[in-house]
């Protein structure tokens, strides 16, 4: 069921005098290769037509690639600010997935201009930041600014993976975007990991062992 995200939480923050409310989400946590990408989006809460103009925006997983591209363009044209942050595959291996994800989100927040007064985050919190914040379970389905961030993060990361496919051919990054599809796992077994693979992930470790033993 497609859920329509709304502005209830953003407007509650606006009533507290917080004009710039950033919605934050990530893409790529479950992938075997490529970075974790976070996006932070500040929407113009003074616009009374905001929800209707962004009526197509949903959790990025509920949208087709074409719809995501349309929504990404709409959000970027309308937003007060958009910030992107990345954590590389090597950083995921070194720090762990959750710390790397939080680092990507902090970088997205730091890229916002104007700076936000508070944060609405999908599922996790950012204890290193002193800004008022809410961690909202399934926030990408219920909160419009988080849904917008999910779209921006997904589109940005997908385009990165298409570029990586040009440098590391044979894995099919342009098709599966680094996720563990059967095609990707088969390529891993044949070629072994490339520098963009997360070697701390079990399927990648197994592929490295197979290649070393062959």
Neighbours of 151 (CB within 10 A): 32
pLDDT (0 to 100) of residue 208: 79
pLDDT (0 to 100) of residue 99: 98
Q: Compute the distance between CA of residue 146 and CA of residue 124 in angstroms, rounded to an integer.
A: 12
CATH architecture of 8-169: 2-Layer Sandwich (3.30)
Mean pLDDT by 10 residues, the chain (214 residues): 85 96 97 98 96 95 96 98 98 97 98 98 96 96 97 98 96 97 94 95 85 59
The domain spans of the chain are 8-169
pLDDT (0 to 100) of residue 3: 72
pLDDT (0 to 100) of residue 209: 74
pLDDT (0 to 100) of residue 211: 61
Q: Which of 117, 122, 120, 91 is nearest to 104 (CA)?
A: 91
């Amino acid at each position: 069921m497609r859920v329509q995200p709304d502005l209830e939480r953003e407007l509650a923050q606006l009533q507290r005098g917080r004009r710039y409310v950033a919605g934050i989400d990530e893409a790529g946590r479950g992938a075997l290769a490529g970075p974790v990408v976070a996006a932070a989006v500040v929407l113009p809460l003074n616009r009374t037509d905001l929800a209707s103009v962004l009526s197509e925006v949903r959790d990025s997983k509920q949208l087709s690639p074409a719809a995501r591209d349309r929504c990404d363009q709409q959000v970027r044209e309308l937003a007060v600010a958009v910030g992107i942050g990345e954590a590389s595959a090597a950083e995921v291996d070194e720090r762990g997935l959750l710390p790397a994800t939080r680092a990507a989100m902090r970088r997205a927040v730091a890229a916002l201009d104007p700076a936000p007064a508070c944060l609405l985050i999908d599922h996790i919190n950012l204890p290193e930041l002193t800004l008022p914040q809410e961690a909202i379970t399934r926030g990408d389905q219920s909160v419009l600014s988080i849904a917008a961030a999910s779209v921006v993060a997904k589109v940005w990361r997908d385009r990165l993976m298409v570029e990586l496919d040009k440098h590391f051919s044979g894995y099919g990054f342009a098709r599966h975007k680094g996720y563990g599809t059967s095609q990707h796992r088969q390529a891993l077994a044949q070629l072994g990991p490339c520098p963009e693979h997360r070697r701390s992930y079990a399927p990648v470790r197994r592929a490295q062992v197979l290649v070393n033993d062959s």
